[in-house]
Structure 1
Amino acid sequence: MNLPGHGSLESILQDPSAKPLALQLQELKDITNNFSKDRQLGKGGFGIVYKGLLPNGEAVAVKDLIMSQFQGKQFKREVDNLMKVQHKNIVRFLGYCYESSHQYIEYEATHVFAESPKMLLCFEFVANGSLDKHINEESCGFDWHTRYKIIKGICHGLHYLHEECQPHGSVIHLDLKPENILLDNCMVPKIADFGISKFFCDQKLETRATSAIGSLGYMAPEYISGNIVSKMADIYSLGVIIMQIITGRRVDVTSCEDIVEPVRLGFNC
């Protein structure tokens, strides 16, 4: 017998054209065994990802966002951007949950009921994990055909974000790195984690952010020094990733040389 809500998640997995769903917190608790540690797939700066198991045996990924990093406006922005994208090289967005409860807590020598919001995102489960787990000195352990396939897939996904996802706009990822590229059973890459991405409308070429947020070693020099946001910021990150896939060398963020090295080697943005 299926628990309430699970049928909708099961059906959306069977229909590639189905739109993402509004999900209930309880059903996400049920499929992740109440967000147990043995279901954790990974943890990043913006949240913890859990494996969710549906009654029919299929798996999904549930991202529990960290409240100190993700407030309501940021959560809405990520959902807005995820709603705009659907491509074989972008991780599929299945649904979202935004629920609040009230907890009885101690505050200034008394007790109050404090609102405790919960923000979660649900995605397709990608079996081979993130690209960073496969990068090593043996050139990722992949043959040249597989490495080329991964690079080509990332390029297709990024081109879709920049040129094709909206008739008069584009999505700038701003945190493209191996940890945010997932590999499925057939080693097809899927770009993930749109937590700091920005949407450009009307073919806008660039803008300035209030501050540069991202991952050192993958951030473009003009983004670090001048907070300039453009498609070229993602292209710079792509160049770093391509070098890592080819050489099997990881980015050493302890050295500022790594930040400018792709430009010196010919990945001039």
Structure 2
Amino acid sequence: MSLLESITDNFSEERIIGRGGFADVYKGPVAVKKLKLQVSSEDMVPVLEEKFYQEICSLMMAKHKNVVRFLGYCADAQGKVYNIAGKNIVGEERQRFLCFEFLPGSLDKHISDASRGLEWRTRYQIIKGICEGLHHLHQQKIVHSDLKPANILLDHDMVPKIADFGLAKCFNEGQTSAITKNVFGSQGYMAPEFYRGVVTFRSDIYSLCIIIQEILTGTKEYLLVENESNEHLLVENESNLSLIKVWYY
């Protein structure tokens, strides 16, 4: 814990390089991901704890050139006095951290009209790297569940590395799907069945198709399309919807 405090200047705001609903990421010699365990709902605490250990499990299994390199973790708990309704109550303050190799950027910063100047060879290599990284995860029975440009980091040579395994699921041998009551994800990249809490390998393929189209077109425009359950889903654009269906189904 003291080491992580020293390399992040005691987790100063100036060191933050990424924010999410469940964690902040700090820059140091390595990237330090600090989970947000201080939540308003007590029901969310076990969910966040599960996410922490699920991410560790996934990262220890996922060693590949196109997956961010996991360096270690810290699970710290210390006694703390809380003043509640005028009474001092001794409780436990829990902090959870994950450490990764530091990478200078992410794919979402390169998907815009201004990024269309990327060489086609570079775009191809990025797509190829993402596919190879995802293929490796699926071979290890890992469903990422939150594949999107912001979760694909790029090194100085524009080599992509899949990151952020907080929503990942580790399947048993022969398992092809799972049901979850806690549906978290990013609109625009979530497969239709995922909205109903069904997690499958195909869910990642759906997200991959959206990412590939964004890399090729340089746009992030979405429109609402109804699925078979009359739920409104976000997809890239109507002209490319047929391509998604071919790849996905």
**TM value normalised by structure 2:** 0.87
Q: How does 1:60-79 map to 2 (within 5 A)?
A: 60-67=30-37, 68=39, 71-79=48-56
Q: How does 1:101-120 map to 2 (within 5 A)?
A: 101-120=78-97
Work out whether 1:150 is the aligned partner of 2:120.
Answer: no
Q: Give 1:46 deviation, angstroms.
A: 1.5
Question: Structure 1 CA distance, aligned partners of 2:175 and 2:208?
Answer: 21
Q: Give 1:103 deviation, angstroms.
A: 1.9
Misfit runs of 4+, over 6 Å? none
CA RMSD across the alignment: 1.9
Q: Which residue of 2 aligns with 1:212?
A: 183
Gaps of 5+ in 2: 226-231
Q: Which residue of 1 aligns with 2:149?
A: 178
Identical residues among aligned pairs (%): 45
Question: Structure 1 CA distance, aligned partners of 2:236 and 2:20?
Answer: 25
Does structure 2 conserve the Cα–Cα contact (< 8 Å) formed by 1:51 and 1:60?
yes
Does structure 2 conserve the Cα–Cα contact (< 8 Å) formed by 1:217 and 1:251?
no
Question: Structure 2 CA distance, aligned partners of 1:110 and 1:211?
Answer: 35
Question: Structure 1 CA distance, aligned partners of 2:162 and 2:182?
Answer: 23
2:207 equivalent among 234, 237, 254: 237
Residue type at the aligned position of 1:175? D
Residue type at the aligned position of 1:83? M
Question: Structure 2 CA distance, aligned partners of 1:185 and 1:200?
Answer: 33
**TM value normalised by structure 1:** 0.81
Q: Give 1:204 deviation, angstroms.
A: 1.3
CA offsets 1:152-211 (integer angstroms, 9 cap, x no match): 000000000002x3xxxx000000000100000100000000001101111312222224
Does structure 2 conserve the Cα–Cα contact (< 8 Å) formed by 1:51 and 1:61?
yes
Does structure 1 conserve the Cα–Cα contact (< 8 Å) formed by 2:83 and 2:89?
yes
Q: How does 1:81-92 map to 2 (within 5 A)?
A: 81-92=58-69
Does structure 2 conserve the Cα–Cα contact (< 8 Å) formed by 1:180 and 1:193?
yes
Does structure 2 conserve the Cα–Cα contact (< 8 Å) formed by 1:217 and 1:259?
yes
Q: Which residue of 2 aligns with 1:160?
A: 136
Q: Which residue of 2 aligns with 1:130?
A: 106
Residue type at the aligned position of 1:29? E
Q: Which residue of 2 aligns with 1:18?
A: none
SS at structure 2 position matched to 1:267 = helix
Does structure 1 conserve the Cα–Cα contact (< 8 Å) formed by 2:146 and 2:167?
yes
Q: Which residue of 2 aligns with 1:187?
A: 158
Work out whether 1:28 is the aligned partner of 2:11.
Answer: no
Gaps of 5+ in 1: 1-24, 53-58
Q: Which residue of 1 aligns with 2:229?
A: none
Q: Which residue of 2 aligns with 1:264?
A: 241
Q: Which residue of 2 aligns with 1:17?
A: none
Instruction: Point out the more displaced range, 80-89 or 252-261.
Output: 252-261
Residue type at the aligned position of 1:235? I
